[in-house]
Amino acid sequence: MSRLLALLVLLGSATGLSAQRLQGTFDPPALAGQRIVLLATRGSHHVPLDSTAIGRDGTFAFHAPLNAAGFYQLAVHDSDRVDLILDPREPLVDVAFSGLPLQRNIRIVTSDENKRLWEYKLVSRESQAIEAAAAQEKHQLQPTDVQRLAELDSTVARAQRMRTGHFARLLQGAPDSYFARVVRADLAVEAAQEQGPMAVARAFDFSAPPLLRTSVYDKAVMTFLRNVNVVSPDQFMVASDTLMALAAPDPECRAYMLDHLIELFSTYGPDMALQYLIDRYVAPAGSSAGIDPALRSRVDALLKVAVGATAPDIILNDGGRQQPLSSIVRQGRYTALFFYSSTCDHCHAQMPGVKQDYATFHAQGFEVVGIALDADSTEFSTSIRENAIPWRCYSEFNGWGSTAAKAFQVKATPTFFLLDDRMRIVAKPYDAEELAVELRARFK
């Protein structure tokens, strides 16, 4: 099922409320015959939901059932868009446009929700214009123009008080409105900044579809992650699990959370957290079909080295002799691939633990394959000798240009993979200690 079709099904599901109608008019009817598109907001994204033709008289109406409260957009010419609130508690939203761009020429004919929204937008626009003009004038003044600088500061303060006061009156006038609910959620997220991730979890409902259909949702996710006191990348894995659990009660929210976290970690890293999401949440489904198409190629590459996948049969360089990985793996019951660098202190810190694992389980059919992302053969040989490494180690002496590292999507050292004798990836331990836990479970 495509993401759009899934969204249509979710938006068209029964809610116990009658569907809302959306209609409007262009006067003059200059856009007659063209199509106007309705887009549903999901976090910071907008998904095309429906479209309809503008009549000869400039009127338009959407006929699909609209029964999911949230922020939406109307668009003409794709890029000309205007924000709206749809809430099935209101039977009708009727808007009028006196020209283009839509944002500057909208009038709300029927809908208290949208009147509140656009009152606030207009007051905010006026306040921002005053603040911008004051900032521009202050930039041109000298520090000695004390009186004028004070007058401008006073003007800005009045504009801000006007905006805040108008905002408060709108909320007091309709405390149960969708507009008020979103504003309260936004203020709660603001208040939770720097208070720890669980402060955000208490302040914001990540399983509420009405909040998913606002930009506040993405803001809450980012605030949660920023509030994590990150010492090591694996903390993002724990944070991801928590966010997925918070969104889990609602299928739409859970699907979006996974998509959004993949997008965040694909863009900003760390790669370890991205691979974790693929292993834990995407690979068990066996497909990346539900992932944003823009991310799918990267997700598909990571799926090839996810837990449960068949490992790529890389060619190992053994002093000039080429040896397929599979020829080593099939000789034992389980084989750990240990990607490391001879100059990596973190890798050296893992050596004693891996040696202990090797000594404990080797007789039962456990092998280790060391793959060094080295550029220098001398460092490679020295590291093997000084660490008294008992397993075979290989290197292409091409550093991060290693074809083995690329095949396994390795982004950091040390990195571990545990393979069975059929080349299936059965685990991706974080370190030697976690590798020992995996081995104890398998060599009972």
Verify that 267 and 219 share a domain, yes or no. yes
On whether residue 308 sits in a domain, the answer given is no
pLDDT of residue 289: 61
Q: What is the CATH number of the domain that holds 321?
A: 3.40.30.10
pLDDT of residue 124: 78
Lowest mean pLDDT among 32-36, 61-65, 225-229, 297-301: 297-301
pLDDT at 342 over 70: yes
pLDDT of residue 163: 76
Verify that 295 and 380 share a domain, yes or no. no
How many separate domains does the chain show? Answer: 4
Verify that 121 and 86 share a domain, yes or no. no
On whether residue 129 sits in a domain, the answer given is yes
pLDDT of residue 75: 93
pLDDT at 294 over 70: no
Verify that 129 and 167 share a domain, yes or no. yes
% of the chain surpassing 90 pLDDT: 53
Verify that 92 and 50 share a domain, yes or no. yes
pLDDT at 135 over 60: yes
Verify that 394 and 292 share a domain, yes or no. no
Of 58, 86, 110, the one marking the end of a domain is 110
Verify that 278 and 326 share a domain, yes or no. no
Verify that 243 and 140 share a domain, yes or no. no
* H or E segment to which residue 82 belongs: strand 80-86
d(CA 97, CA 102): 7
pLDDT at 363 over 80: yes
Q: What is the CATH number of the domain that holds 70?
A: 2.60.40.10
Of 253, 270, 303, the one marking the end of a domain is 303
Q: Which residues pair with 45 in a beta bridge?
A: 42
Of 87, 110, 133, the one marking the end of a domain is 110
pLDDT at 270 over 50: yes
Average pLDDT over residues 345-353: 91
On whether residue 130 sits in a domain, the answer given is yes
pLDDT at 137 over 60: yes
DSSP structure class, residue 311? P
Query: Which range marks the domain in which residue 328 is found?
Result: 315-442
Mapped onto helix, strand or coil, the DSSP state of residue 213 is coil
pLDDT of residue 239: 94
On whether residue 180 sits in a domain, the answer given is no
The answer, yes or no, to whether the previous bond of 233 is cis (omega within 30 of 0) is no
Mapped onto helix, strand or coil, the DSSP state of residue 365 is coil
Tokens of 184: 């309260």
Verify that 17 and 102 share a domain, yes or no. yes
| Between 444 and 23, residue with greater pLDDT | 23
How far from chain centre, in Å, is Cα 346? Answer: 29
Lowest mean pLDDT among 225-239, 278-292, 315-329, 394-408: 278-292
Report the DSSP pairing between strands 35-42 and 45-53: antiparallel
Average model confidence (pLDDT) for the chain? 87
Verify that 289 and 392 share a domain, yes or no. no
Q: Kindly report, residue by residue over 152-207, the tens digit of the pLDDT.
A: 889 888 888 887 787 778 778 889 999 999 989 998 999 999 899 999 999 999 99
On whether residue 69 sits in a domain, the answer given is yes
